[in-house]
Structure 1
């Protein structure tokens, strides 16, 4: 019978004191949550004041502070990395613009080279036509015309004439002018 009384005292303690108290605490916590009270922080504050439990709760608070510091450091790193990315993107845009400008310059220069080559080809063609005209003339008339031209121009014209015709024309020219043209022909 003494076992039954002990058992009934334990039952009485759980059914009359422990379970209703636990239910009241849970009900009170739910009401506080609906009222907007932060129970977690309050529990940490109260638990932090308890002798043995307080050591573990303080560690949680310190870990939260360390985690917050780590989060702040990571956010600063992210911000600095984003700034660096923006700088690199600006540099890339600038380099792309420079590349485009250089490509445009290269295209322009290529067009100039092509037009100059065309002009040179046209001048050569014209000189060959002029040379044919001199060859069709009598050597005396060709010599008279070339004698009247400036030496550099006469040199261009005579350089396109065949060697046989050139010899006849130079023979009919003034000896000094012919010598100067021959000297320049030899140095080309």
Structure 2
């Protein structure tokens, strides 16, 4: 019994001696495989599937996560389709943005063209106005000077023997004004038929004349003095003289009447008030308007006296 026990104990010891390193090795190998995350079963199944005849018995190793989509054509096509749709959406968004920018540029261009056309119209209008302003002074003439020229033409068309006595009834300044609008031949013919003294006075005045406005003022002043003299000598015809005086200033241009009355006011304010009282309201307002442009303070005094002030 003791011999048998010793023999069994020796076998067990030899078994342990052999198994302990093997167990240790297996445990160590399992630990290492666990640390390095190696799937032995899947690797063994993969190797077995490569061996003929055995591949029919051994099952396929399970696919790794993500590998199914990598090998599945349908999944790949779905991914490609999704990617294509995303790309198409991005392209459509870019095209829409570019179309919007193009529309904005087109609207800005249209606005600029409209502004350019408006500015061009304004420039054309200004050019037309400037051209009209240049032509207007040549086409428009003073009505008073036109009447003087017509009167001079009328006397020049008459026989000198008939025109001379008529013109002698005018004042010297009025004759100078009419003669200044005549030709040299007409002046010579009429002066030969006039009274020598009056002809000499007119000749001297013609030599001194410079401006048509000054001649018109001088003629009106001379006519006014003549009318005043007739008013002073004959009281019975006072109303008639006032009518003539009113008619004279009514026929005069408002500018020249304002100049004349402005000069007279410093000499005889009462006579200026009398003249303004003889003319109509419309003529008076026109004369006062022109006088205001030249001397507003003086015009204010005149209006004050017209209203009864001092």
Which of the pair has more CA radius of gyration? 2
* Structure of greater relative contact order (alpha carbons < 8 Å, 6+ residues apart): 1
Superposition TM-score tier, normalisation by shorter sequence: 0.3 to 0.5
Identify, as 1 or 2, the structure richer in helix. 1
TM-score (norm 1): 0.46
TM-score (norm 2): 0.31
